[in-house]
Amino acid sequence: MPNHGDFQFGIYLDGLSGTRPELPMTYAELARRAERVMSEQVWSYVEGGAGSEGTQRGNVAAFDRWGLVPRMLAGAAERDLSVELFGARLPTPLLLAPVGVIGICAEDGHGDLATARAAAATGVPMIASTLTQDPMEDVAAQLGATPGWFQLYPPNDRELTESFVRRAEKAGFSAIVVTLDTLTLGWRPRDLAIASFPQLRGLCLANYFTDPVFRARLAAPPEEDPQAAAGLWAMLFGNQRLSWDDLPWLRSLTSLPLLLKGVCHPDDARRAVDAGVDGIYCSNHGGRQADGGLPALDCLPGVADAVGAHVPVIFDSGVRSGVHVLKALALGASAVAVGRPYAYGLAVGGQAGIEHVLRCLLAEADLTMAIDGYPRIADLGRDALRPVAR
């Protein structure tokens, strides 16, 4: 099997005939080009964070506080980036994080389907958001043999929550990821400044609008009165009262692996596992929900230590490069999810843009493992890192 880093040789060979890559090779350039093609409303929603955006910036900066220690003569001519999650062997440690407006990041308004097709083409699993432009069944159908997980924003309606889970199971999703840090909407000045919240316009609500339980709550179908449907969504989405007492009920909804997303405290991680949760998703929502918090990367080691090696820990927040992926793995992540980079890849280049971003991340991670002497993901323990002196 070729190494992921071989991706660069094709680019250099194309250069011999004067061909340069059409898509950006750095995150900074990717973001610049995405801003040019996205609407003001979509750019604000995806790029923006909570408050001063200090936590969002801190998520990225936290990676610079750690340096990889090179090891020589380690036999790293061939690298194995595969990982095991819930009994399945995945070819890489990458996941596509749930992005609630990925549907409208695409020019044709079907970004969820493009993301699923990119997942199928690359083997990188997709975590599909509750907030999609196309129904979850249509998204799952595009995944092919690549696993898909369903990210659940539990609405303040138990019957509707159960309906979402049942639909996700039937559609073929192989895990349920319950997001806990969005029980109410965070303070987002960028969106407030332009008075824009896409879901209130009926966007990215296909899972609600096609759900029989949700439709039964309406006086008229969503296609006849979309404003009333969006209003009901807002009531159910922004008025959640989940507590630890609800966890047994959530666990009872499915026999699929259940993960809790937004866990950053070791005590919360232990309590979740004790209650029967199968995996922990360490994340601060990319800094989009609450400002003034710790970078998620700083929370990762404590969470991983709390649950032990037998419980998978997924990580996201601030991941911008293949080196970031490796550092998160070394600090205890079992797999690493990426969000904004692939959203911008979609905006700039459609499905091909997502695949390009994933191949760049994997190539950089793979080549760094080769140069620094880490042939396998399992070789990336805490001893692979040292604090960077200021």
Q: Give the tokens for residue 382.
A: 């805490």
Q: Is 12 part of any domain?
A: no
Using alpha carbons, select from 219, 234, 194, 253 the residue that is nearest to residue 48. Answer: 194
Active site residue 285: yes
pLDDT at residue 390, rounded to an integer: 77
Least confident of 153-167, 233-247, 276-290: 233-247
Q: Give the tokens for residue 380.
A: 């990336």
Q: Is 2 part of any domain?
A: no
260, 281 Cβ separation under 8 angstroms: yes
Give 2's contacts (C-beta < 8 A, 6+ positions apart). none
Does the model's pTM come out above 0.85?
A: yes
Mean pLDDT of the region 275-302: 97
pLDDT tens per residue, range 49-108: 999 999 999 999 999 999 999 999 998 899 999 999 999 999 999 999 999 999 999 999
Mean pLDDT of the region 288-308: 97
Question: Average pLDDT of the chain?
Answer: 97
Domain with residue 330: its CATH number is: 3.20.20.70
Mean pLDDT of the region 161-190: 96
Q: Is 64 part of any domain?
A: yes
Q: Is 226 part of any domain?
A: yes
Query: Which domain, by its residues, includes 228?
Result: 27-71+85-240+249-387
Q: Is 188 part of any domain?
A: yes
Q: Is 157 part of any domain?
A: yes
Q: Is 13 part of any domain?
A: no
Q: Is 80 part of any domain?
A: no
CA-to-CA distance for 190 and 196, rounded, in angstroms?
9
Q: Give the tokens for residue 51.
A: 């408050």
CA-to-CA distance for 93 and 90, rounded, in angstroms?
7
**In total, how many domains does the chain have?**
1
Q: Which of 4, 110, 265, 285 is catalytic?
A: 285
Return the amino acid letter for 185: L
